[in-house]
């Protein structure tokens, strides 16, 4: 099956939002090629995209194959109208937008999938969370449908619920994050339904789940629901980056960050991503705070 895409779209940049680290066992991305295995409302599925000169070739396998193919336009941000900057936009925002005009904000509609690695990213370094995600999928995720035998499905909710919190400790996942994983698994059917809701409504429902706070909600809904305004409040680095770029202050709070982003309301998440893609980072004065894994204490 073939579909056409706006030649201005940078598909690799847009699709990179769905990959949790370069070694993500569920999602692979290279120049001109994208693989994604996940759980759909119809069942497990694998999607394979290849593209060249504005034309995308689609293939899918598994019970949820048609569901994945039907969602490709959303996935690649085909309906994204892009960013209209205010007249008083900061020069560094203007520059980042100019340097990355092909970025689109897409929606996977697989909120359960996006929540799992996001939970692992709570209060630890990105490298640790990426490694934990890879090991967790290797241990609890089934082989993905289709010909790519290097892909794994995200852990099925029953697999996560089948393991007590202490089982996760050797992976470096302490009880708090393990219980958050189990909570999401326990409510996976509802979360699947929430994947179709507007972001604000879905966020209000996610807030009711123990262990799922503003940072996790903002991070997961940005890509699962395609929300260009989603801001991961509570992040260790992003407030510093925003305050450094937009106010020349090397450290900042969430409140200060939100004030600086207010002129871009409706597109705040996109602006954050553009600033990050442009290589902006606040000066580093020390390592990121982290939790020592239970098995290393």
Q: What is the pLDDT of residues 77-126, one digit of tens each?
A: 999 988 999 999 999 999 999 999 999 999 999 999 999 999 999 989 99
End-to-end CA distance of the chain: 53
Proportion of the chain in helix, strand, coil states, percent, rounded to 5: 45, 10, 45
Q: What is the pLDDT of residue 222?
A: 96
Q: Which helix (H) or strand (E) holds 74?
A: helix 72-75
| Three-state SS at 33 | strand
Helix (H) or strand (E) run with residue 47 in it:
strand 43-52
Q: Give 281 or 259, the one with higher predicted confidence.
A: 259
Q: In the predicted model, is pLDDT for residue 291 greater than 80?
A: no
Residue 294 has pLDDT above 50, yes or no: no
In sign, the C-alpha dihedral spanning 153, 155, 158, 163 is positive
Overall average pLDDT of the 211-217 stretch: 97
pLDDT in tens, 113-160: 999 999 999 989 999 999 999 999 999 999 999 999 999 999 999 999
**Rounded distance between C-alpha atoms, residue 160 and residue 111, angstroms:** 16
pLDDT score for 31:
87
pTM here is 0.93
What average pLDDT does this structure show over 60-74? 98
Structure-block tokens of residue 292: 């020592």
Which residue ranges form the domains of the chain, and what is each CATH number?
2-83 (3.30.310.20), 111-224 (1.10.340.30)
- What crossing angle do the helices spanning 268-277 and 254-261 adopt, rounded to 10°? 100
């Amino acid at each position: 099956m073939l579909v056409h895409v706006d030649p201005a779209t940078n598909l690799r940049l847009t699709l990179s939002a769905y990959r949790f680290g370069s070694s993500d066992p569920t999602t692979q991305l290279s120049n001109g090629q994208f693989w994604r295995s996940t759980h759909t409302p119809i069942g497990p599925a694998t999607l394979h995209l290849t593209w060249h000169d504005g034309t995308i070739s689609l293939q899918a396998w598994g019970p949820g194959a048609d569901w994945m193919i039907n969602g490709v336009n959303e996935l690649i941000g085909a309906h994204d109208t892009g960013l209209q900057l205010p007249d008083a936009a900061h020069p560094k925002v203007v520059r980042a937008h100019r340097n990355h005009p092909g970025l689109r904000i897409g929606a996977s509609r697989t909120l359960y999938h996006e929540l799992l690695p996001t939970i692992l990213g709570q209060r630890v370094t990105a490298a640790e969370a990426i490694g934990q995600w890879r090991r967790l999928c290797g241990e609890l995720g089934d082989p993905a449908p289709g010909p790519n035998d290097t892909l794994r499905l995200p852990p099925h909710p029953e697999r996560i619920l089948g393991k007590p919190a202490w089982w996760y400790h050797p992976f470096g996942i302490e009880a708090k994050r393990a219980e958050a994983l189990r909570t999401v698994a326990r409510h996976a059917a509802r979360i699947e339904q929430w994947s179709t809701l507007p972001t604000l409504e879905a966020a209000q429902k996610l807030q009711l789940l123990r262990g799922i706070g503003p940072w996790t909600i903002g991070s997961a809904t940005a890509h699962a629901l395609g929300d260009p305004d989603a801001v991961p409040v509570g992040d260790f680095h992003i407030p510093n980056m925003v305050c450094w770029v937009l106010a020349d202050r090397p450290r900042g709070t969430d409140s200060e960050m939100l004030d600086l982003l207010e002129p871009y309301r409706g597109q705040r998440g996109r602006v954050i991503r553009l600033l990050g893609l442009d290589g902006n980072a606040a000066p580093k004065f020390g390592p990121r705070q982290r939790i020592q894994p239970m098995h290393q204490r």
